[in-house]
Structures are given as structure tokens and as C-alpha cells.
Chain A
Amino acid sequence: MTISNIQRRRFDSLIIGAGGGGLRAALQLAEADASVAVVSKVFPTRSHTVAAQGGMNAALANVLPDNWHWHMFDTVKGSDYLGDQDAIEYMCRAAPKVVYELEHFGVPFSRLDNGRIYQRPFGGQSQNFGGEQAARTCAAADRTGHAILHSLYQQNIRAKTHFFDEYFAVDLLKDEEGNILGAFVFDIHTGEELIIEAKTTLLATGGAGQLYRTTTNALINTGDGMGMALRAGIPLQDMEFFQFHPTGIAGRGMLITEGARGEGGYLVNAEGERLMERYAPNAKDLASRDVVSRAIETEIREGRGCGPNKDYVMLKLDHLGVDVIQKRLPGIRQTCITFLGIDPAEQPVPVYPTAHYTMGGIPTNRQGQVVVPVKDTPEEAVNGLYAAGECACVSVHGANRLGGNSLLDILVFGRAAANHIIDYLKENHYHRPMNEESIEKAYQRLHRWDDTGEGESVEQIRSELKLVMEKNCGVFRTQEVLDQGVKEVTALHERLTKARISDHSAMFNTARVEALELENLMDVALATVFSACARTESRGAHSRVDYPERDDMNWMKHSLYSLLERKLDYKPVRTKPVTVATFPPKARVY
């Protein structure tokens, strides 16, 4: 097969990713009669959005008084003032409408007795700008993500969206002026390559939890879209902000909710001490997530971890009694029994901080257009390229995401990007000429994995990367730890260029898919560790032992990491909302 034989298809709009973000955008476009192609490496309804069980936020005021402005305040505060206030205002205002649309698409939201949508309280939600607890999260029982994904998929089938299921996107295609022209993809079943030419391309490829050894994310979350953007010369924004949960099941990653500690569970080290008494004498085990996460890591670093490798601590719940556990924490009990063979009503559970959510990503404005600094302009739109969902950084989550705001983000900005694309298509009737050089580049990247001969295995490098990221860019961050991280990730990056796979066939070559995924993870790892190393303050999820305070004078700005020069740049936070007054930075206390 040579490049000239590769099949080419043309669409108005290409969407890479079939999670909630991609499918919401696709539906909007298909309904506007655009020809839409959606490419997904897994069957659409197996996208990671299916894992979101908790729900999504919208100020409907069905249970307690609420309005979008309070939701906006909570989100700005939650972001530790790194979120862009125009995008946050836009999202919070759009939230009720987006929920009603989902209802219309067939999402079976849980109901109150009066027939209205039920709303549950989540952490970080307040009434009246920091007052009483609010109840803002809408859910379809404990399967919200599943319900949203299935409804959107059905609607897309009805609207005749064209799906390329189990196709892998390798790279974006672009011309010399920087216009994005589509993508180079291949069919995972047959290995057949395909050039998709599109007037607009939307990246909706989700997060990068697989950067870390212990994560709540599925195996598919390898930051592919972020890698593609980096290689297309687009910097990634705010990658140092990665949300960790303190209590993941050690070695497995699944979450044990805060509820377990809320019910009276507590953490112990190898010596049987209640470790949180030392780190947070008042709040103890209910201290904030970053404090608990760092305490666990400190115990392990100082040799008080449990188990043969001393690399976790224990969460004790057995003192609560089997009745309380079965009644209040049935899911956690089942998970522990199923995966560990441990009943938390009888034995403590090994836990370790688990990587959960990628706050950073591909920089966009609130219309979903990808934006990059050009000369003195911090945000110039890249023609033909959009991003939405967890792979994007719009930035509504800033330094820290609130529970229930991510499903909202993917739907609001998937829809907003589609609306902008619809306008763009009205003005741009023709495809731009394809750039053959960029096809050649993508082709070479794919076929580099045909190289034979001696070389390290992809598996080996991947497991080392995940471990380095956990140790050197996880919850315990100092200059020394991060400098070491930069050194080690750089070395791994170099080693990957010489790695080999043993399968060189075309059909179902999953080894090659994994190699390409690791290349993406590696580029994203560089962005993460370089950005973390440079930021000498603590803000939201980026918390540094050696710089424990937030430093608004020097650091209220977004980081931008570029792959080519491996260099960092910065741009200001958009502190001006669309219609209301700015929320000025304050200490983030709850």
C-alpha cells in the first residue's frame, strides 16, 4: 500500500471521539444538515462517559433555591480562580437548557414526587455565593453517563450521522498556513488507512488518566487528541492540574468515595496509627482531598506504608459494623469483595491516591475554537479546528474541577462548538486543497512501527512511565521531585523512539494501536511534568510542598506547553465574565 492508493472521503465536519462531547456536537451538526463523520476507537457507547455515575450540575432549583449565578460563583471558587469567567458564565447559564434538551432526547432523569427532575447535593455547591449547601446535580439513578451516551447515540443514528466505529485517528492533517484539513485514520479491524478530508475537525477524545499507574480511568483514556494537537504545533494548557482522589483501591484504581470516611472510616499506616491525626488534627480524615492524598504519600515515602512493598495505607471501615456498611456503602463493599476478595466489614482496604480527571488540555475559546498565541495576541483561532470535553481546556475547571461539572462541560461546549461550526460552514463552502506532506508525515508515524530488529517493548516503557508519573508528578510535588520527573520522562521519551513491536500485520494489530497510544501519553506526560515543574505555587490540584501558598501576583495565569521547543509560555486568565461582575480571588476555604 502506498499513499496514493489510500482511500479519501470528504465530509463537512469530522469529529474525533464519540463520548458525550463528540456525540452532542455530532447531533447538533447532523440536525443542521451538515455531513458529519464520527471516528471512535471503541464502539461509541463504550466511551468513557459511560463511567460517570454521579450526575451533572444545573441550577434548576427543583429541590432547594438556586440560580446560575451561584453556580458560577462555586465554579470560579472551585477552580481556585484559574477558570476563565466568561466561559464559566456561559456554561452555568446554558446548563438548564442542556438538561431539558437531554430530557427531550430521552434521558430518564430521576424524578421528585411532583414530577420534576430530582437534584442531589454534591461537594462545593452553595446557595447565595458561599452560603448553605445547594442541591444542583441531576442524575439518571446511578447511570447518568450511560443514559446520556445511549440517548445521544440513538439520536445520532436517527439523524444519520456517519460513524467510523473502531477506527483509530493517527494525526491531524494541516496545510502550510496552519489550516486543519481533516485527519489520517485507520480501521482497527482491517488495518486499512483512510484520509478524511473535512472543512472542520473537532477533537473530543477525552482525558489522559492512563498517564498514572493508579487511576480511575479506563484503558482507552490515553490522551490521543492532546497528543495530536501537540504534534500539530498546538500548545497544551494548564497540564499541571490533574485531579487525584485520595482513596483509590491500591493497585487497581477504583474510587472509594469520600462517603466512606464521612461514615466514620479512617486511614491507618503500617504501625496501626491513625495517620491523619498528624496532618490535620481537626478535620482528620475529612480534610480536603489534596491534604489527605499528600499525607498518604508522605507516610509511604517515610517508610510507614503497608504491604510487602510498603506502598499503600489502609482504610479501616470494619468498626462500623456490617449493617452500616451494607446499608450506606453497598457499592464499595461489592467492589472490594469482587476485586480484592476483601469484605470491608471484616478487614481494612488497601488504598492509594488515584488519578481521576485531566483539567488541562487543548486551549479553546467558549465557542470551542482551538486558540493559540500568535505574536502579541494570546488567543488566535486555528482555522478549521475545534475541541470539546475532557481533552479541551476552555477553561471552566481551572485548577480544580467540581463534581458534576464535567458532564455539563462536555455537553455545553460540544453543542457550542457545533453551533460555531454551523456558522463556519455557511461561509466556507469548499474543502481546502489537501496537503500531501502532512499525509506523508502521519503515514510515516504509523509505519515507523513496522521497523524490525532489536528494541525495547512498549509494555516495559509504558509501565515505567506510569510509575515515574505517579512518583514524580503525582500528589507529592517539590522542585527536586519534579526535576527528577522531567529528567526521567525525557529519557523515556527518547527510549520510546527506539522501541519495537513484534506484530507487523495489518489486521487487528492491537500492539500497534497501543504503541501509538503510548506515543500520545508520552507527549502528554512531557507537557504535564514540564508545566508542573515550572509552577512555583500551590493552586487547586497542583499542590507543592515547597511552595504551599497560592501566589496570585505571579501565577494567576494559564500555562502553555509546546512540544517542538519543549518550552512554556503563559497567558492571562480571562477574569471578565460576559454580563456580570468579576469574582475577585479570595482564599478558597470551605
Chain B
Amino acid sequence: MARTIVYRSLYAVLLLIAASFLVFYGMRLAPGDVAEVLASHPTGQMTVERIREDLGLNRPVFVQYGTYMRELLSGNLGVSLVTGEPISEILRTSASYTLRLAVLAFLLSIGLAIPLGALAAWKRNSLFDQGTMLIAVIGMGIPNFFLAVLLIQLFTVRLGWLPVAGYETPKHIIMPALVLAAEALAINLRVVRSSVLEELGRDYVRTLKAKGLSNRRILWLHVLRNSLPPVIALAGIMMRTLLGYTLIVETIFRWPGLGYQLVNAVLKRDYTVAQTLAILLTAAVIIFNALADLLQQWADPRTRGKAGA
């Protein structure tokens, strides 16, 4: 296991370096020039040349990247080009909003998918099973923004129960969380169901029945426990997808998370903010994946035992 941890971490670090460089380089390739944007900014006083000089934009991209990363790693994230607000401040508030939203959506999708999916598998081909799978198909096929529109229509326009956008009250998180959870729920439902179904066909299930155990114990303890590795494996990917979707969902519902700030920064051509947020989001994804891999290994006592031996 220790060996696995070392290898997986090393891989993650290499990936981090490559990905952050690509983002950094990509920013430089984007149309429009930071210096020009800054020079044209209403509050700006400086010339394009002067700004270039100041930002070090004339130096080779590797050098720029090195300087930037050194600053980033020492915790100096810089300030917004547009507002002058420290990026660390933007990051702190928006990350907490995104995390709140993503974690709620994640828990919602897993928390519903496990019991519903397992029961659907146990009652295979029943009305319940078919109903659950219909939900999964719909959840998978319906685009985020469309679901958002439907929910807003229902809960805001028709029923007047929920506010349409913002972040001021606890009620504000409900709709974005539902929209964000929908696809993950659909995918998790299918994975849980098929994993449980596969486990139900195994020999040990017959042994459990022959021991006289209750169906409840067989399904919710033994079969579920064995069905979890693929679900856990997916959870990492799911978290990454969820983080990706926060971009859209936060923008629709004006939920002030990282995605909303990133989109805003890009629209305002606030390069420093956009670049730092993009790199940190990528890093989060890579770290999530590495953790998910390790968790999955640990969840399976067979690989755990072998790796320890």
C-alpha cells in the first residue's frame, strides 16, 4: 500500500506540473493581449509597453511560468487586474461556496443512488426497478441548463417556493444542488444497480442464503459492501464532473463559487484571476482523482492484503 501511495502521488505531481503549464501557456495564446486590455481599462494610466515590462510579458514563457509558480506555491496569488482585490480573498470565499454546493450535490446523488439502486437490483424487473431506471435515463439525457429552467419554472414561477438566483439564504442552494446532482444521481443509480446485480449472482450469496440470514442482512451488509468498489471508483470521477458542472450551474443561478468567478473573470478579461482559478481547479481535480484511486484500492481487502504483503 505504501508503495502504491508513493507511485500514485508522484504521478499526480507530474500531472499537476504538466497541466498547470498547459493552462498557463493556453492563457497566453488566448485572443487579446493582457497589456492592451489593461491599457484600455478606464482606470488605467499606463502604456501598453510599460505594462508588458511590469508583468514580465516580454520574457520567455518558461521563465514567466517559473516566476508565476514560485509565487503561487509560496502562497502569493497576486491581485485581480481589474479590481485589485487579492486573489486569495476571492478564492477563499468562492471556494467555500463551490465546495458547499458540490458536496451537497455529491451527497445527494450518492445518498439517493445507493439505496434506490440496490433495491432496484434486488427487485430486478419490478415496477420499482423500471421506475428507477426511467429516472436514471431522464437524469442522464436532460441537459443541466434545461433542468434548471424546468425547476425554476416549477419552484419559482409556479409555486413561488424557492428564489431564482443568489446566495443569501439557505433556500438558495436547493435548486443549484438539485440540478448539479441530477446527472451524478443518474449515473450512480446505474452503477450501483449493475454492481449490486453482479454481486447478487455470485456464489457467496447462495452461501449467505444457505446460512439462513435475512434478506436485509444479505443485501444491505454483504452484497452492498462488495458492490461499493466501482461506486467509490466512480465517486472520484463524479466529483470532478460535478466541479466541472459548477461552472454552468453557478453561472445560471448566480451562485458565487469558483466557477462563477472564473467565468466572470474570463468575461472581464481579468487574466490573473482567470489563470489562477483555472490552475487551482485543475489541481483540485487531479488531487481528487489520486485520492479516489487510493480510496478504491483500500476499499478492496484483496488488493489491500496483496499490497501489504
Q: Do A and B come from one complex?
A: no
**Which residues of B come within 8 Å of A, CB atoms?**
none
